[in-house]
């Protein structure tokens, strides 16, 4: 039997195929959540144990077999008990012994799956929240509450529309899986390489083209991948060597790659998993989240682009030669492959459902890949694509499912409301004080947790405080998500920076601090949309356009301040002027007197630099 044929009968492929067919069936024939969510959880658990075995020894295989059996048993429990679980009344009907057994088994198996996917960091956070459930009566001060009995805990976590059956799992079921499918399909059909080649063709010949092409490639790749580390791996293996050859140190090349790739989680139309969760928490169409994220994402990449451009002028590094660009494949013969992401964007723009848009875009990618012999999928390619979808989807789903435990504890114990009240008190009731404390909280959480986990916890704990202080709800959620994303490049634990350092053979800690320095221009963007929701595409079109132009000018001014260069090296006074004007524009709502004065002053400062440069040339 040939290798592809043998793989068709392998347990992994059959499991992946069942996962695929189940998710496709949900779009054709919706199934009630009481059965759809448990099946999604069960298939995710089985996939994690299939693709992440504990080892090759006999005892390891025995442990994996027990975990697989336990996962199958939990799934069978929900299927068999469906009529009773669907009709029971929460907090009124009894919790039976069988519920306690299989509810506990589900939580235990889920924790082992979390450990395999993201390590111990998330588990310790969950353990802390679970401990709070039972130790609440003995908690000090405002943390005290009556606590949960074990039966109530199991009911909330595994039997009601909270906990592991709650909104986070619903997001994985309804949104995330389909966009992971699109990302895998598009990459398998050559879309990822097309983005890299297109970026090199587009900006590779410009000054600083090595780093600029990395920025453009990461922004484009962000449309199909919501993972910073995946973005680093996919684009960094091509762009980091180019940057090193053109004058960047290994640490600088890795830092630029990590910073640009991290922005993929903010780049519409796909963004990251946190964006799908945000849509569910706010009960708005995902297209609204993608539209709101457009200007901040463009500002993010514009700021990086300006830093690279100024660095290329200042130090003369990063420019590619003709030989560097000689091996790039022609874009024209592959232009049809742009159809898939364009179809995705169009369907989202016309308010088609996000899962349908992702599925149709995946279908377009599969059809167009057969237009050229080089991009056609073989049988082995199809098998690999289906298996990779199940692997990636399950490894994203497991942490999301587990985070439902944290949400349930925070809400059911009233911890979220108490925390927001205390946060406002500690900040002295000032918005700036609260925002600075929230930034610290998001960065610290993001250092040890996946971005989506940090965002969800931050949304539960921090957003209520921000809204009480007058911040728009959408802006508050974006603010939290933005800094949770930036934690991927913030030392001492900066996963994207470490991944890039590995590719560049660079010092990981130096890379992290350089990436953090680069990101300083990005740390101000959330303040801009907190003080001016027009940047999240709210309000009249002319105000949105004006806000967009002003934030571009402000981020450019901040980049000038950080690099200390504009047509010529700048002194500290000039750098302070540009930095102060950038802050004034970002912190003042568009159209106010302060904003207007700052804009005029920035234009004047820029003209003064140009005039000085011309005088020197004469």
Window from 73-77, 158-162, 311-315, 319-323 with minimum mean pLDDT: 319-323
Residue 5 has pLDDT above 70, yes or no: no
- Quote the tokens at residue 568: 């010529």
Note whether 515 and 494 are within 8 A (CB). yes
Residue 1 has pLDDT above 60, yes or no: no
The mean pLDDT of 492-509, rounded to a whole number, is: 86
Give 84-145 as a DSSP string. Answer: HHHH--TTTSPPPHHHHHHHHHHHHHHHHHHHHHH-HHHHHHHHHHHHHHHHGGGS-GGG--
The one-character DSSP state at 160 is S
pLDDT of residue 386: 94
Percentage above 70 pLDDT, the chain: 98
The mean pLDDT of 364-382, rounded to a whole number, is: 89
The mean pLDDT of 125-130, rounded to a whole number, is: 92
pLDDT of residue 41: 96
pLDDT of residue 328: 79
- Quote the tokens at residue 347: 């369907």
Alpha helices in 372-486 (DSSP H): 379-412, 415-426, 431-448, 451-461, 463-468, 473-486
Confidence of residue 606 (pLDDT cuts 50, 70, 90): confident
pLDDT of residue 73: 94
Distance between CA 495 and CA 446 in Å, rounded?
10
Confidence of residue 490 (pLDDT cuts 50, 70, 90): confident
Length of the chain: 618
Helix 294-315 and helix 209-221, axial crossing angle in degrees, nearest 10: 170
The mean pLDDT of 122-138, rounded to a whole number, is: 91
Window from 131-140, 395-404, 520-529, 568-577 with minimum mean pLDDT: 520-529
pLDDT of residue 2: 57
> Considering the entire predicted model, what is its pTM?
0.87
The one-character DSSP state at 319 is P
Burial environment of residue 53 by CB neighbours within 10 A (0 to 12, 13 to 18, 19 or more): middle
The mean pLDDT of 595-605, rounded to a whole number, is: 90
Q: Which of the pair, 500 or 491, is modelled with greater confidence? A: 500
Task: Give the H or E element holding residue 558.
Answer: helix 541-563
pLDDT in tens, 68-105: 999 999 999 999 999 898 888 887 888 999 999 999 99
pLDDT in tens, 274-309: 888 899 889 898 889 999 999 999 999 998 999 999
Confidence of residue 110 (pLDDT cuts 50, 70, 90): very high
The mean pLDDT of 231-256, rounded to a whole number, is: 89
Confidence of residue 44 (pLDDT cuts 50, 70, 90): very high
Question: Phi and psi of 56, rounded to 5°?
Answer: -100, -10
Contacts of residue 193, defined as CB under 8 A and 6 or more positions apart, other chains included, come to 329
pLDDT of residue 109: 96
The pLDDT mean for the chain works out to 88
pLDDT of residue 18: 96
- C-alpha dihedral (524, 594, 529, 547), degrees to nearest 10: -110
Distance between CA 488 and CA 484 in Å, rounded?
8
pLDDT in tens, 165-221: 988 899 899 988 998 999 899 989 988 888 888 888 888 888 888 889 989 988 888
Confidence of residue 329 (pLDDT cuts 50, 70, 90): confident
Burial environment of residue 68 by CB neighbours within 10 A (0 to 12, 13 to 18, 19 or more): middle
Confidence of residue 477 (pLDDT cuts 50, 70, 90): very high
pLDDT of residue 226: 66
The one-character DSSP state at 589 is P
The mean pLDDT of 363-387, rounded to a whole number, is: 90
């Amino acid at each position: 039997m040939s290798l592809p044929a043998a793989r068709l009968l392998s347990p992994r492929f059959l499991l992946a195929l069942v996962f695929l067919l189940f998710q496709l069936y949900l779009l054709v024939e919706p199934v009630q959540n009481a059965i759809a969510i448990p099946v999604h959880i069960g298939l995710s658990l089985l996939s994690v144990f299939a693709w992440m075995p504990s080892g090759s020894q006999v005892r390891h295989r025995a442990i994996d077999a027990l975990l697989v059996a336990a996962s199958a048993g939990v799934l069978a429990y929900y299927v068999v008990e469906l009529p009773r679980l669907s009709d029971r009344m929460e907090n009124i009907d009894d919790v039976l012994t069988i519920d306690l057994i299989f509810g506990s088994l589900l939580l235990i198996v889920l924790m082992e799956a979390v450990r395999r996917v993201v390590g111990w960091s998330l588990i310790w956070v969950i353990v802390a929240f679970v401990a709070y459930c039972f130790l609440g009566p003995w908690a000090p001060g405002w943390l005290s509450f009556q606590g949960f009995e074990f039966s109530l805990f199991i009911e909330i976590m595994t039997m009601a529309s909270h906990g592991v059956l709650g909104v986070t799992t619903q997001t994985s079921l309804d949104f995330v899986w389909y966009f992971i499918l699109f990302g895998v399909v598009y990459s398998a059909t050559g879309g990822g390489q097309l983005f890299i080649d297109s970026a090199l063709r587009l900006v590779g010949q410009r000054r600083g083209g090595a780093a600029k092409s990395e920025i453009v490639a990461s922004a484009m790749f962000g449309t199909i991948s919501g993972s910073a580390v995946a973005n680093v791996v996919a684009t960094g293996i091509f762009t980091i060597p180019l940057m090193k050859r053109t004058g960047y140190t290994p640490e600088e090349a890795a830092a630029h790659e990590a910073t640009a790739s991290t922005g993929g989680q903010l780049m519409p139309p796909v963004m990251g998993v946190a964006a799908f969760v945000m849509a569910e928490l706010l009960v708005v169409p995902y297209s609204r989240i993608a539209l709101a994220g457009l200007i901040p994402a463009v500002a993010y990449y514009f700021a990086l682009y300006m830093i690279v451009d100024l660095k290329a002028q200042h130090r003369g590094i990063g420019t590619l030669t003709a030989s560097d660009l000689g091996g790039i494949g022609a874009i024209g013969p592959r232009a049809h492959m742009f159809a898939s992401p364009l179809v995705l964007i169009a369907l989202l723009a016309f308010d088609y459902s996000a899962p349908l848009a992702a599925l149709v875009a995946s279908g377009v990618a599969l059809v167009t890949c057969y237009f050229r012999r080089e991009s056609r999928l073989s049988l082995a390619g199809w098998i690999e694509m289906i298996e990779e979808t199940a692997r990636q989807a399950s490894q994203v789903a497991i942490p999301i499912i587990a985070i439902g435990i944290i949400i349930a504890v925070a809400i059911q114990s009233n911890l979220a409301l108490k925390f927001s009240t205390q946060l406002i008190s500690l900040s002295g009731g000032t918005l700036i004080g609260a925002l600075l404390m929230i930034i610290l909280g998001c960065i610290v959480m993001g250092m040890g947790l996946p971005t989506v986990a940090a965002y969800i916890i931050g949304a539960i704990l921090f957003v209520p405080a921000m809204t009480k202080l007058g911040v728009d709800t959408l802006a508050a959620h974006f603010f939290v998500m933005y800094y949770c994303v930036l934690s991927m490049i913030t030392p001492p634990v900066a996963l994207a920076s470490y991944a890039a350092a590995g590719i560049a053979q660079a010092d990981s800690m130096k890379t992290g601090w350089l990436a953090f320095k680069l990101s300083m221009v990005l740390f101000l963007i959330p303040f801009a949309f907190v003080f001016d929701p027009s940047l999240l595409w709210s309000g009249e079109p002319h105000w949105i356009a004006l806000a967009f132009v002003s934030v571009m000018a402000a981020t450019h001014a901040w980049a000038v301040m950080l690099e200390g260069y504009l047509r010529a090296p700048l002194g500290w006074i000039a750098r302070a002027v540009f930095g102060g004007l950038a802050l004034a524009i970002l912190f003042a709502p568009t159209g106010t007197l302060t904003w207007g004065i700052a804009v005029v002053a920035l234009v004047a400062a820029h003209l003064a630099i140009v005039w000085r440069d011309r005088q020197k040339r004469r």
